[in-house]
Structure 1
Amino acid sequence: MKPEINQSLGEANMARRSFLRYAGASAATVAVMGVAASCKKDRGVTVDGTIDIGSGDIGILNYAYALEQLEAAFYLQVIATPYSGISSIETSYLTDIRDHEVLHRDFFKAALGTSAIIGLTTDFSSINFSDRTSVLSAAKLLEDTGVTAYDGAGYLIKDAGYLTIAGKIVSVEARHAALISNLLVAGSFAASDQVDANGLNKAASIKDVLAGANGFLKTKVSASKF
C-alpha cells in the first residue's frame, strides 16, 4: 500500500471511531447483527477463486460490504493523490465522502463479524487519478451503481433492523451521487439516467451490479445464491 494512502487511512480513522453514531445505530443493534452473522456457512470462495457473498440476509450484507469496500478504496486514492487543479471545496466534498464510505465499510465489517467476506483487492487501472473528469466520472459510476444496488436488493432483506440500516446508508449514498453528478454537470443532481418519470430512483439487480463492480476488482465477487 502506498504511503500516501496510509496517511489517508489515518485521517479517516478519526471519523471511523464514531461510525456507530454516524450510522444512527445503537451498540445493541450492532451486537445483535454481529451475533446473527456469527455463522460462517454463508461465506465462501468458489472453485475459480471468486468470492461468493453467500445467501439470505448475510449475503445481502456481504453484497453491500463488497460495494462499500470498493467505494472506500476509490475515495482513499482520490484524496491521497488529488487530481490536477482540484479546488479546496472539491477537496472538502470528496474528503467527506471518503470518510462516509470508510464508515460504511467498517460498519458492515463489524456487523457481519466472522461471516464477512475477505478484504477485496481493487483494480483502478482504468482511472486516471490526475484528471478531474476521469475521477468524477468514475465517482459518478460508483455512486450511481451503489444507489441502484441498494434499491434493487432491499426487497430481499428479511430482518427489519438490517433494512432500516440499509435505508439510512442508501440515503447518504444518494446524496453523494447527487453531489458528484452536479460537480460534473451543473443541475444534473436528479437527472433521468438515475431518476425515472415517476420521481423514483432506478434499481439494478445483484447480478448486473456485480458485473460492473468486478471491472474495478482483482478479487472477483459472485452471488450464486441470488
Structure 2
Amino acid sequence: MTSHISLEQIDRSGALRELADEAGALDSNGTRREMLRRTGIAGAGFVAGGVLFNGMLSPAQAAGITFSTKKKSVANDAKIANYALTLEYLEAAFYKAAVDGGAITDPDALDFAKTVAAHEAAHVAALKKALGKAAVKSPTFDFGAAVTDQATFLKTAATVEPVGVSAYAGAGPYIKELPILKAALAIHSVEANHAAWVTALLKYKFGGTDSPAPNSFNPERSEKAVLKIVTSTGFIKG
C-alpha cells in the first residue's frame, strides 16, 4: 500500500497552492481550482525525495542558464533553450519511469503515458541537438509514488503539464531567433495537448471534475515562478 505525504509536508513554500489558484484564476466557475485543492494535489500524495530544485539553481545560474527578460540576443536564446531543456528532462524522465515501472494498468492511461513519453524524449533530443555542446546535463530524479501508483501518476501529470505550457508562454516573448521561436511554439502546443488529454482522461474515465479546456486565456509564468513550482515537487535529486 502506497504511503502518502500530505501537501503541507512538501509544499512549504506554498507554490503548489499558488499553482492551483492560478490554474483556475480565469475559470469563472472555479472548477479547476477547487479540483486541484480538493482532489488533484492533496489526493495525489506527492512523494518528496532528494534535494529540491533550488539545490541546483545556484550552479545553473552560475552557468548562465537564467535568461534575460530585458534584451533579446542569440546568447539569451541559448539560455532559454537550456531552461526548456531542463524542464523537458524532468518530463521525459517522469513519463519513462511511469511506463517502465509497470504500475499503469488501464489501457487508456498507458496509451497516454507511452505517447507522451515519446513526445518528451523527442523534445529533449531536439533541444540537445539545437544546443550542441552548450546543452546542460540532465539532473537526477526521484518521483516516488508519482510513478508507482496509477492514480497518483495521472494527477501528477495533470498538474505538471500546465506548468510546462505556462513556462513556454512565459519565455516565448524573449526569444530573438525565428527558428528557436518556431521550435518553442511547436513544443508549447504539444504540451497543451498533453494537459488537455490527461485532464479529459481523468474527467471522463476516473471521476475527475476538471475541464480539459477551462480558460479562454491561459496564464504565462516567469522562469522564477516555474522553478518555484518545480521546487515544491521534490522530484529533482541533484
Q: TM-score, normalised by structure 1?
A: 0.68
Give unmatched runs, 5+ long, in structure 1. Answer: 1-45, 220-226
| Cα pair 2:169 2:220 within 8 Å, conserved | yes
Which residue is equivalent to 2:134? Answer: 115
In structure 2, what is the Cα distance between the partners aligned to 1:142 and 1:181? 11
Given the alignment, which residue of 188, 211, 230 partners 1:188? 211
Partners of 2:178 and 2:115 lie apart in 1 by: 28
Does residue 202 (structure 1) correspond to residue 219 (structure 2)? The answer is yes
**Alignment partner of 2:89: what SS?**
helix
Contact 2:77 2:176 (8 Å CA) reproduced: yes
Superposed counterparts of 1:38-53, under 5 Å: 50-52=59-61, 53=65
| Residue from 159, 166, 180 that aligns with 1:141 | 159
- Give the drift of 1:109: 0.8
Helix, strand or coil at the partner of 1:68? helix
Q: CA deviation at 1:51?
A: 2.1
Residue type at the aligned position of 1:70: L
Q: Deviations over 1:69-102 (max 9, x none)?
A: 0000000011011325x22222122111100000
How far 1:54 sits from its partner (Å)? 4.6
Distance in 1 between residues matched to 2:165 and 2:180, nearest whole Å: 16
User: What is the 5 A alignment of 1:68-147?
Assistant: 68-83=88-103, 86-125=105-144, 127-147=145-165
Q: Using the TM superposition, give the Cα deviation of residue 112 of structure 1 relative to its aligned residue in structure 2, in angstroms.
A: 0.5
Q: 2:96 aligned with 1:66, yes or no? A: no
Identical-residue share of aligned pairs (%): 36
Distance 2:127 2:57 in 1: 25
Matching residue's letter, 2:60 = I
Secondary structure at the counterpart of residue 115 of structure 2:
helix
Give the corresponding residue for 2:51. Answer: none
Answer whether contact 2:163 2:226 (CA < 8 A) is retained. Answer: yes
Structure 2: which amino acid aligns with 1:203?
Answer: E
State the distance in 2 between where 1:128 and 1:153 align: 27
Alignment counterpart, residue 175 of structure 2, candidates 149, 157, 179: 157
Q: What are structure 2's unaligned runs of at least 5 residues?
A: 1-54, 68-75, 205-209
1:151 maps to a residue whose letter is A
User: RMSD of the alignment, in Å?
Assistant: 2.0
Does 209-218 or 155-164 show the bigger shift? Answer: 209-218
Residue 147 of structure 2 aligns to a residue whose secondary structure is: coil
Alpha-carbon shift at residue 159 of structure 1 (Å): 0.9
TM-score normalised by structure 2 residue count: 0.65
